Each structure stands twice: as structure tokens, then as C-alpha cells.
Structure 1
């Protein structure tokens, strides 16, 4: 009787590889299906069992925070550029994240409600405050534009993304009311 080939459980040796696969799968599925995508689907996409997923990420929020830390690193890199247009690039990327991955905002909301020490909004505020004054001073934005206005704009973009009707070009809708070039809404 021939022996069947079976998957070998590599145990701890596969931990780092499994973690990377889970994060990659979560990023794809959060973007495609939203924050409430079944964790079972993420485990399956990553090629791991649910137990492995839960060993690495005990809560959905833990997984989301790790996935979106990649986005924060990208936003921080943009904000670190001392050029006056850094805010415009930060704003453009932030709006793209909200449109492409509204999960980013859903994760913020859940983190704020369930994790006392999470300060994603504070981190985002700091990025805006580090870039906005340079853009205003260079005349790229209205002098009256505030950090609170920008944060309100993010919330508005999320509202457009969350209420979009199938087939609508969400990015175009957001650009209509929240331009990325510093101009005023049309």
C-alpha cells in the first residue's frame, strides 16, 4: 500500500513564515472584504489553521493593528520629508487608504473603543501637525486649514466610502469634495 504524502508540522520553525503569511492574507482580505471578514477566511488564505492564527493574533483587533502598522510606517515616512508638499502627499495617501481600505478607519474606531492605550488618532494628528504648517506657509493650502479640519475630512471620506453604492467610483467622489492638491472643493 503506497504511503500518502502528508504535510509535516514544522512547529515553531514555521512561526515567522506563518506570521508573514497571516499578515499578507489579512491585508488582502481586509482590503477586499472589510474589517469583519471571517478570521477563518484569513487563516485559509494564509494556508494555516485557525489555531495558528489565534496563537499569533488572539483578537481581530490585534491582527488589524499589526496590518495597519505597515500603513503608519508609510505615512510616517512621508511626513518625515521636510519638503513643503509633504502634507499634500500625506493627505493623498491617507485618502487613498480610506478609500481603498475603509477597514483602516474601522480598526481605528474599534481600537479607540476597546484599547485604552492605543493612540492611533494621536499618531495621525502628530503626522498632520508636523506637515500642515509647512504647506500653509508655502501657500499650498489655505492658512485657515487646521488639523481638526483635516481629521474631519478623513471622517468624511470614510462616510463616502462606507455608503458608496455598487459601481460608484469612490475615489472620484472623495476627490470631488476633498481635493488632494490643496484646492477648494468643487
Structure 2
């Protein structure tokens, strides 16, 4: 647990559940930042340091790497699902939110490639389930006869776009993502997080 000093040097009272909730939130925030920079193989010790807690606290909340990755990636997927459920949402709108998450996080890109053996072994079956949720959401917005409607075409297209998302800045990654979608002939709405 993070220790905060008080002016007269006494240790603060144990906040119990409040501290546990704060620590968990800090760990998820730190993991999101570290995963965005280094992907899902980032050192757990770096995440604990960024959150300002010890590794023991990390392991109390997340018993292994897969549990922490799942907690972080769950929020990404939830935002894509929320964008999909918004009134009058279109495929382009949902792809815009999806693309924003791709440009923000190497870990989210890894999630969408969860069917490859390497990623499956790193973050487990839960990642595959999250990837399938994203695919279901997107398929729900595909009009009949859409060019991405064939069995693997939708996720293959997303993999192709995610492969193009490189660059040192978020703006550069966003520019490259938009160019990749344009070259593939797929309309994408504004690349931004879901603001519901």
C-alpha cells in the first residue's frame, strides 16, 4: 500500500477498503500507461513502481499478468461496446473508437491478435474472449453484403490497419491509421475515445 506522510511524521491511519480501491485503480492506470508504451510483456515491477505501490500490492489485486492485462483491456473493449450501443451508431463510428484505442495502446493491438499462439499464451483465453466481443460488436454494424462480411475479412482488415499504426507520437499513429483505412476503402468516423 502506498504510504503517505503526515506533517508531524505519524503514519496515516489504515484506510482499509478505500486504500485497496485506490491502489487497484492506480495499478490499472499505471498498467494502461506502461502497456501503451511497451505492450503486454512490460515488467510488472515497472507497473507497481508507476502506481506507487509495492509488488505485493499488485499481486494481491492481480494474481498474475493475465489478470492485470484483462482488467486493463476490459475497459478498452467496454468503450467499443458502448460506442456500438449509442443511438444511431454506425460501423464508421465504432471503427473510429476502435481506431483510437489502437493508436493509444500496443496492448490493445495485441488483444485483437489474440488468436495467434504467442498472444494466447501470454494473456490467456480471456484475451481471446475480449477479441471475440469486439468482432461481434463490429459485425453487428456490418450491412448485408458489406465487403468485410466474409468469414475472416473483418478481423484481417483490422490486423492490417493495426500493423500500419506505428510512429513516435499519437498524432502520427492516428494519421497512419486513417491512411490505412482510406487505402482499404473503409469509411471510419472521427478517431476519438467514446464520450457517452
Fold-level match, TM-score > 0.5? yes
Gap runs ≥5 in structure 2? 1-7, 189-196
Alignment-derived partner of residue 147 in structure 2 = 144
| Counterpart among 129, 132, 135 of residue 139 in structure 2 | 129
Aligned residue pairs total: 172
Query: Scaled by the length of structure 1, what TM-score is found?
Result: 0.76
Once residues 142 and 94 of structure 2 are traced to their aligned partners in structure 1, the CA distance between those partners, rounded to angstroms, is 10
Gap runs ≥5 in structure 1? 137-141
Once residues 49 and 57 of structure 2 are traced to their aligned partners in structure 1, the CA distance between those partners, rounded to angstroms, is 11
Q: Is contact 2:148–2:154 with CA below 8 Å preserved after alignment?
A: yes
Q: CA deviation at 1:21?
A: 1.2
**1:177 maps onto 2:177 in alignment:** no
| Counterpart among 93, 115, 120 of residue 130 in structure 2 | 120
Q: Is contact 2:164–2:180 with CA below 8 Å preserved after alignment?
A: no
Once residues 160 and 27 of structure 1 are traced to their aligned partners in structure 2, the CA distance between those partners, rounded to angstroms, is 21
Q: Is contact 1:61–1:111 with CA below 8 Å preserved after alignment?
A: no
Greater relative contact order, per chain length (Cα 8 Å cut-off, separation 6+) = 2
| Counterpart among 62, 84, 87 of residue 67 in structure 2 | 62
| Counterpart among 85, 90, 95 of residue 91 in structure 1 | 95
Query: Scaled by the length of structure 2, what TM-score is found?
Result: 0.73
Matches within 5 A, 1:17-96: 17-81=22-86, 83=88, 85-96=89-100
CA RMSD of aligned residues (A): 3.0
SS of the equivalent of 2:63 reads: coil
Q: CA deviation at 1:53?
A: 0.2
State the 4+ residue runs in structure 1 displaced beyond 6 angstroms.
Answer: none
Alignment-derived partner of residue 139 in structure 1 = none
Once residues 121 and 32 of structure 1 are traced to their aligned partners in structure 2, the CA distance between those partners, rounded to angstroms, is 20
